[in-house]
A and B are shown apart, each in its own frame.
Chain A
């Protein structure tokens, strides 16, 4: 099973600034990585797949990078509506499909 580790657990960022979230895989997942946004009480939403491709209707301030075992989700010009939990998920080796533990983004 591939273990996904996210850091930091919590990130506090001022509006308009940049948030950088990290995700590490226990072995290479090539570019088979997705990012999700999950707001309390709502359905999770797919943000990024293929490590760097934005999903449909996702704002351009969200970007993904990385391959192999190290990945980054960057949120530029952070807005209040971006306050949420963010998860990475690998789909290179499955089953099981595995998620990271999540990063909580707070707005200062």
Chain B
């Protein structure tokens, strides 16, 4: 059974940094791209970042470019999101999502339960 478990969310001051982690199990981690998707309070889902299976390609939503870095450790079956220079608008539940990239697909077929990041002074 596929499991994705996020951790690292907490209260942080504006301008601060945070590193989110996602521990995975139940599937061949090295065979899948991965993404982070967030949901701000009262808002819809927003894709944040993507990383290819081998880490050779990374993409970000414009609002986090230059501040967030997605990475992965294939030996540990883990995904990470380093978030720097955090802003109030980054406040959200952050989900780790397995990204199916077979053929034309670029969709999220398994998700974690999410971890809450609150940016506030």
Residues of A within 8 A of B (CB): 32, 34, 36, 38, 41-46, 49-50, 55, 85, 87, 89, 91-92, 94-102
Q: Shortest beta-carbon distance, A105 to chain B, in Å?
A: 14
Complex: how many Å from CA A44 to CA B107?
12
Q: Shortest beta-carbon distance, A71 to chain B, in Å?
A: 14
Q: Are B113 and A43 in contact, CB atoms less than 8 angstroms apart?
A: yes
Whether B27 sits at the interface, judged by CB under 8 Å, is: no
Residues of A within 8 A of B106 (CB): 32, 91, 94, 97
Q: Shortest beta-carbon distance, A104 to chain B, in Å?
A: 11
6 contacts between A and B (CB under 8 A): A44-B45, A46-B108, A89-B108, A91-B104, A96-B61, A97-B35
Interface pairs A-B: 6 shortest CB-CB: A91-B106, A43-B111, A95-B59, A97-B47, A34-B107, A99-B45
Contact of B47 among A38, A50, A55, A99 (CB under 8 A): A99
Q: Which residue of A lies closest to B111 (CB)?
A: A43
Interface contact tally, CB-CB below 8 A: 68
Complex: how many Å from CA A99 to CA B113?
18
Given contacts A44-B95, A99-B45, whether A91 and B105 have CB atoms under 8 Å apart is: yes
Whether B44 sits at the interface, judged by CB under 8 Å, is: yes
Q: Are A98 and B44 in contact, CB atoms less than 8 angstroms apart?
A: no
How many of chain B's residues have a CB under 8 angstroms from any CB in A? 26
Q: Are A43 and B114 in contact, CB atoms less than 8 angstroms apart?
A: yes
Residues of B within 8 A of A91 (CB): 104-107
Q: Shortest beta-carbon distance, B56 to chain A, in Å?
A: 15
Over the window 61-83 of chain B, the binary record of Cβ atoms lying under 8 Å from chain A Cβ atoms (1 yes, 0 no) is: 11000000000000000000000
Whether B94 sits at the interface, judged by CB under 8 Å, is: no
* Most A Cβ at <10 Å: residue of B47, B105, B107: B107
Q: Which residue of B lies closest to A45 (CB)?
A: B111
Whether B29 sits at the interface, judged by CB under 8 Å, is: no
Q: Which residue of B lies closest to A38 (CB)?
A: B45
Q: Shortest beta-carbon distance, B105 to chain A, in Å?
A: 7
Q: Which residue of B lies closest to A95 (CB)?
A: B59
Residues of A within 8 A of B37 (CB): 44
Q: Are B47 and A44 in contact, CB atoms less than 8 angstroms apart?
A: no
Q: Which residue of B lies closest to A35 (CB)?
A: B107
